Amino acid sequence: MNGNVEVVADATGARDFLRRFIRTRSAVLGFILVVLAVATAVLSPWITPNDFSRTNMAFIWEPPGQDFVLGTDAVGRDVLSRLIVGAAVSLVVALSVLSIALVVGTTAGMVAAWKGGWFDAFVMRTADVTLAFPDLIVAILIAAMLGPGIPTVILSLAVVSWPGIARITRSLVLSLRSELFVDAAIVSGTAARTILLRHCLPNIVPALIVRASVGVGFVVMAEATLSFLGLGVQEPLPSWGGMIRDGLPALRSEPHLALAAGTALGLTIIGFNLLGDGLRDLLDPRIRER
Amino acid sequence: MTAYVLRRLLGLFPVLVAAIILTFAANRFVPGDPITIMLGDQGGNVVLERKLRAEYGLDRPVSVQFVDYVSGLARGDFGLSFRYPGVPVTQVIKDALWISPLLAAAALTLAIPIGIALGVLAALRRNTLADTGIILILVAGLSIPNFALAAFFVWGFALKLGWFPVAGWTTWKHAVLPVVILAIPAAAYLARLARTFMLEVLQQDYVRTARAKGLSERLVVWRHSLRNVLVPILTVCGLIFGGLITGTIVVETIFNIPGLGRIAIESIFARDYPVTMAIVMLFTLFYAVINFAVDVLYGLVDPRIRVEAVR
Amino acid sequence: MTDALSIEHLTVSFPGPRDRMRVIEDVSLSIGRGEIVGLVGESGSGKSVTALAAMRLLAATAQVDAGVIRLQGRDLAALTKKELLSVRGAEIAMIFQEPMTSLNPLFRAGFQIGETLQAHLGLSRRESIKRAVELMRAVGIPDPEQRVADYPHQLSGGMRQRVMIAMAMACSPKVLIADEPTTALDVTIQAQILALVRRLRDDTAMGVLLITHDLGVVAGMANRVVVMYAGLIMEEAPVNDLFARSLHPYTRLLLKSIPRVGVKTERLHQISGTTPPPSRFPAGCRFHPRCPDATDQCRNHIPALEVLPDGRKVRCWRWRETGLMSMAA
């Protein structure tokens, strides 16, 4: 069907264009949401109207109003301020997790692909076994040993995230290895480390960016889940997951806490997922229209 | 086929071994001395202490403890609870054992048809408003965490509309919201995949052949396309079921359902490590076995694996 | 007598980067009863599009801008959806290039053949399988009683193509379209498959549209040859006349590039350049960038398709001066 392949490559009909536009629009929407979340987090020291940890028993469970835009919680703390700081907490955690996972994952993947042999087998086996455990279970294991808290969250999420990155890195480096420019570098006696860092890494970065942007949403959701269960961020630091937990018992008469935190959480993760999807569409080379 | 099954079976072992070692380690190398905690204000009672230590096997060398642990596991004995001194772990989790898998299974039964139907529909109506609408709904379903969904659903359906009870576990109505909330992310994930697979399948040569034979569009979609979508979707179901099992942890906590998940969380805070580890083992086992079963099922369904190639 | 298949002035367009682009233009060809017509051209020439258009199997984005397709005189565009489905696969059938991917991996060979019979002739499951066995025997598959239960991945490439042929022949079509049926097969199998098609034509007097990029294939099979390039018909002639004396420079170049046994060549002759995609058809004669004899007239004006007194057709400004090459040279 040779004739058709070329035609399809050129074809961009009205329908396809519509889809591309929508896709772009949803990616733009994702971008906006992400920017909002990140800005909130970054600017948090300056934009919180009240001290997020200040309790005030005279004002417990205030509905949203003049003094407290989103109301207060069970001990009189301002919901909006906690929401804002919560953004910072979630994103710092997510960033830490991703940094660790990226460093560990890319190193493991690159070395495994380069060295081959038993090291490769070992790394891949470990990755497989790690992936065989449901992520929440891993978190529970670590929480049981270390106790709940931010280090637990970061450690368990990093443990769960690095195998995927290692796999991608490994397969990319393996395919790069057969490229001409890598051969040239090897023949001219360049050290393995230089080859990996200077030649391979830049080619891997797009795939990693895609993977990371899709991964942030997952990490934020996982951290929120752990905090919801009480295994994650501990008081007095606010976290959206924890706020939902606090807000659930009062859902009947004071829904604002849980619903506000739920909305913030939902929108942020939707934003990261839309952005991640959009980036993937952009950076993935494609011949045929999906 | 047998080679395939054996290979898959072999793949289970490293996971089980890892699980056993990790849970044992977590059990033994915890901060604090569980016996001391158990004794509480009876701390001075040396006789009791020695008795408890013997009962829990903590007076023996670690290697012996490990062997005991493993042989105990083979018998289905998870040791004794710390929180309820002297009570076997199996006793603690016995009644909760069937609840979590039941919730997960119910959610899966709900998610599979809905997810596949949505995904296939989106693929067939590709690039139309329906497709885009469905995609956006799917993103939302995947992105909003189940407990956030729960907050909205409980507020909306239970409190404001009064259709369902808020929490508890006595009537079938109590199961509706938990199962639905569990099912939503699973259905969204399945739908995304189903859409992608369906779009791919529709591009395949054999679909063109089916049309060239003059088969009705209905036959082309239902017989030739759908089958080829269901086969790879099956492999994902194992993964999804695993996710559902862990999802029950959250859902049981929210709705106060006396399942394994809720007990796991409680036991962490109560420092009842044997119970926690037992549940971790069980969940991991569920997960691994389900994946294995799905692999075998896949082998049965795809003739390329089931039947040998060129004679 | 009405032709088995008659394509008249067919023009098909696809959506392009800016606006629609015409993939094939003013394509006319006819296949008489019992005739094998070879449709030859490089990839991208539009031959497959023509064939798919005849079956009305083009993608939804494709549009037939002009032209009529007649199956034994019936205008295919005038058929209702239901009528079209009953015609497709029964009166006009098609086989494709890649037998592995063209068969559904999840269904047995016999079932896939029987499907056609069930759909068009209303046979029961059991009857259709029995007929499938006979059909498989008729296309030369050894041990058809065993093979009928095989899955596609259990069969060799040649066998799969035979299964495809059996599927196509199931309802005794009046026209068989074969789109590069042997390109993906070994050379020895190629000859067998082509011989099979020839035999079936002899037995049933069906018309065959044999699409290929290989003039060698056409030499032993076709009665007439149509040469396409960049969506246009460049030449049409009875097969022997085409080989003895081709009138179009493109045909001549195609002929030159067939490696011939016994003739020593320095290197395989290649035609320089590539077929332009529809979005970048050159002005004037579409072949001029690759034509050794192009003039200014060729570069600026598209020649029309001339019909010669002996029935041959050629689309070239300069065929009278340049068209004297013989195959034997």
For A51-102, the DSSP string reads -TT---GGGTTPPS-SSSTT-B-TTS-BHHHHHHHHHHHHHHHHHHHHHHHH
Strands C207-212, C36-40: pairing is parallel
DSSP string covering A227-286, please?
Answer: HHHTSSSPTTS--HHHHHHHHGGGTTT-THHHHHHHHHHHHHHHHHHHHHHHHHHHHS--
CB-count exposure of residue A95 (10 Å: 0-12, 13-18, 19+): middle
Better pLDDT: B52 or A21: B52
Cβ contact C277–A10 (<8 Å): yes
pLDDT for position A199: 73
Neighbouring residues of B75: CB distance < 8 A, sequence distance ≥ 6: none
Q: Which of C170, C236, C205 is nearest to C30 (CA)?
A: C236
Higher-confidence residue: A49 or A284?
A49
Residue C167 has pLDDT above 80, yes or no: yes
Closest residue of chain B to A275, computed from CA coordinates: B139
* pLDDT digits 0-9 by tens, C37-89: 999 988 888 899 999 998 888 888 888 888 999 998 888 888 888 889 999 98
Tell me the shortest Cα–Cα distance from A135 to chain B, in angstroms.
Answer: 8
**For range A227-240, the mean pLDDT:** 87
Contact between chains at B224 and C90 (C-beta distance less than 8 A): no
Q: Residue A223's pLDDT band (boundaries 50, 70, 90)?
A: very high
**Average pLDDT taken over every residue of chain A:** 80
Rounded Cα–Cα distance for residues B72 and B141 (Å):
42
Q: Report the alpha-carbon distance of residue B124 to residue B229 in Å, rounded.
A: 13
Report which of residues A150 and B77 the model is more confident about: A150
Instruction: Work out the average pLDDT over B96-117.
Output: 90
Cα distance between residue B211 and residue A233, in whole Å: 57
Which helix (DSSP H) or strand (DSSP E) does residue C69 occupy? strand C63-71
Query: What is the pLDDT at residue C262?
Result: 64
Please write down the HEC assignment for all residues of B24-55. Answer: HHHHHCCCCCHHHHHHHHHCCCHHHHHHHHHH
Give the tens place of pLDDT for each residue, C89-148: 889 999 998 888 999 998 999 999 999 999 998 889 999 999 999 999 999 999 999 999
Spatial distance between the Cα atoms of C164 and C157, rounded to a whole number of angstroms? 11
Tell me how far the alpha carbon of residue C205 is from its chain's centroid: 18
State residue C270's pLDDT score: 65
Residue C177, Cβ density class (10 Å: 0-12 exposed, 13-18 middle, ≥19 buried): buried
**3 state SS of A18:** helix
Q: What is the pLDDT of residue A88?
A: 92
Nearest to A268 by CA among A115, A91, A55, A72: A91
Q: What is the pLDDT of residues B148-201, one digit of tens each?
A: 998 888 888 877 777 777 777 777 777 888 899 999 999 999 999 999 899 899
- Which chain A residues contact residue B23 at CB under 8 A? 141
Question: DSSP readout, A197-215?
Answer: IIIIHHHHHHHHHHHHHHH
Confidence band of A288 (pLDDT split at 50, 70, 90)? very low
- Name the pairing type of β-strands C232-238 and C306-307: unpaired
pTM of the model: 0.80
Q: Residue A8's CB: how many other CB atoms inside 10 A?
A: 16
- Beta carbons within 10 angstroms of residue B308's beta carbon: 11
- Alpha-carbon distance values, B69 to A129, A142, B75, B142, B270 (Å): 21, 20, 10, 39, 22
Q: What is the pLDDT of residue C60?
A: 80
How many beta carbons lie within 10 A of that of residue C282, not counting itself?
Answer: 15
Position A179 scores a pLDDT of: 75
For residues C7-32, give the mean pLDDT: 89
Q: What Cα–Cα distance (Å) separates residue C164 from each residue in A257, C58, C100, C168? A: 65, 20, 10, 6
According to the model, what pLDDT value does residue A284 have? Answer: 61
Q: What is the pLDDT of residue A62?
A: 79
User: Do residue B206 and residue C156 have CB atoms under 8 angstroms apart?
Assistant: no
- Mean pLDDT, residues C289-305: 87
Q: Which chain B residue has its CA at the smallest distance from C53's CA?
A: B212
Min Cα distance C74 → chain B (Å) is: 17
Does the beta-carbon distance from A3 to C49 stay under 8 Å?
yes
Task: For residues A275 and A271, give the distance between their C-alpha atoms in angstroms, rounded to a whole number.
Answer: 6
Most confident of A7-21, A215-229, C272-286: A215-229
Give the highest mean pLDDT range of A202-211, B32-41, B222-231. Answer: B222-231
Query: pLDDT tens across C176-207, in order?
Result: 999 999 888 888 888 899 999 999 999 999 99
* CA-closest candidate to residue C164, choices C112, C210, C206, C127: C112
In 3D space, the residue among C67, C65, C76, C69 whose CA is nearest the CA of residue C13 turns out to be C65
Residue B22, both tokens: 């990790």
Q: Does B62 touch chain A (CB under 8 A)?
A: no
Calpha distance C39→A148 (Å, rounded): 74
Which residues 6+ apart lie within 8 Å of A5 measured at CB?
A: A288
Nearest-5° Cα angle at C223, C22 to C34: 95
Q: Distance (Å, rounded) from C-alpha B178 to C-alpha C30?
A: 67
Q: Across the interface, which of B214, B303, B309 has its CB nearest the CB of C85?
A: B214
Please check whether residue A45 touches C, CB under 8 A: no
From chain B, pick out residues whose CB is under 8 angstroms from the CB of A140.
249, 264, 268, 276, 280
Q: Do C14 and A16 touch (CB under 8 A)?
A: no
Paired tokens of A36:
């909002």
Which residues on neighbouring strands pair with residue C8, listed in sequence order? C68
DSSP state of A50: S
> What is the percentage of chain A residues whose pLDDT exceeds 90?
21
Chains that touch C (3 or more CB pairs under 8 A): A, B
pLDDT of A2 reads: 32
Half-sphere exposure for A220 (CA within 13 Å, toward CB) = 34
Q: DSSP state, C315? A: -
Give Cα C74 to chain centroid, integer Å. 21
- Of B276-285, C40-49, C161-170, highest mean pLDDT: C161-170
C-alpha B206/C-alpha B183 separation (Å) is: 33
Q: Name the DSSP class of B214.
A: T
Which pLDDT band, with edges at 50, 70 and 90, does B115 fall under?
very high
- Residue of C89, C101, C120 lying closest to B212 (CB–CB): C89
Locate all alpha helices (DSSP H) within chain C, ordered by sequence. Answer: 47-55, 81-87, 99-102, 109-121, 125-138, 144-147, 157-169, 187-204, 215-221, 239-244, 249-256, 296-300, 319-322
pLDDT > 90? residue C210: yes
Asked if B239 has any chain A CB less than 8 Å from its own CB, the reply is no
Q: Is A16 on the interface with B (CB under 8 A)?
A: yes
**Residue B26 in this model has a pLDDT that exceeds 80:** no
Instruction: Report the alpha-carbon distance of residue A221 to residue A225 in Å, rounded.
Output: 6
Q: How confident is the model at residue C269 (pLDDT cuts 50, 70, 90)?
A: low
Peptide bond preceding C309 in cis form (omega within 30 of 0):
no
Q: Which residue has the higher pLDDT, B40 or B190?
A: B190
Q: What is the mean pLDDT of residues A218-227?
A: 91
Which subunits sit against A, judged by 3+ Cβ pairs under 8 A?
A: B, C
Quote the mean pLDDT of chain C.
87
- Which range scores top for mean pLDDT: A42-51, A61-70, A234-243, C29-38? C29-38
Q: Which residue of A has its CA nearest to C229?
A: A3
Q: In what order do the strands lie in the sheet with C313-314?
A: C92-95, C175-179, C207-212, C36-40, C224-229, C232-238, C313-314, C306-307
pLDDT over 90 percentage in chain C: 45
Q: Vertex A237, ends A232 and A241: CA angle to 5°?
A: 50
- Give mean pLDDT, residues B116-120: 92
Closest-CA distance of chain B to residue C65, Å: 22
- Give me the mean pLDDT over the B222-247 stretch: 85
Whether the predicted pLDDT of C267 surpasses 70? no
Is residue C11 within a helix (H) or strand (E), and if so which, with residue range?
Answer: strand C5-15
Identify the pLDDT of residue C322: 77
Residues listed for chain A: 290
Tokens 């106790």 belong to A147
- Nearest residue of A to residue C17, measured between CA atoms: A12
Q: Do A134 and B152 touch (CB under 8 A)?
A: no
Q: What is the DSSP letter of C90?
A: T
How large is the greatest C-alpha to C-alpha distance in chain A, in angstroms? 77
State the Cα–Cα distance between residues B266 and B261, nearest whole angstrom: 9
In percent, the amount of chain C with pLDDT more than 70 equals 94
Among A4, A10, A13, beta carbon nearest to C48: A4
Q: Which pLDDT does position C162 carry in this prediction? A: 93
Alpha-carbon gap: C103 to the closest alpha carbon of chain A (Å)? 15
Task: Look at residue A87 and tell me whether its pLDDT is greater than 70.
Answer: yes
The CA-CA-CA angle for residues B155, B156, B162, to 5°, reads 95
CA-to-CA separations, A106 to A192, A201, C262, in angstroms, rounded: 15, 9, 58
What's the pLDDT score for residue A224?
A: 93
Reported ipTM: 0.84
C168 to chain B, minimum CA–CA distance in Å? 7
The percent of residues above 90 in pLDDT, for chain B, comes to 15
pLDDT one-digit tens code per residue, C109-124: 999 999 999 999 888 9
Structure tokens at C26: 């003013």
Dihedral pair phi/psi, residue C30, rounded to 5°: -135, 150
Residues in B touching A152 (Cβ below 8 Å): none
**pLDDT, tens digit (0-9, with 9 covering 90-100), for A245-260:** 988 888 888 888 888 9
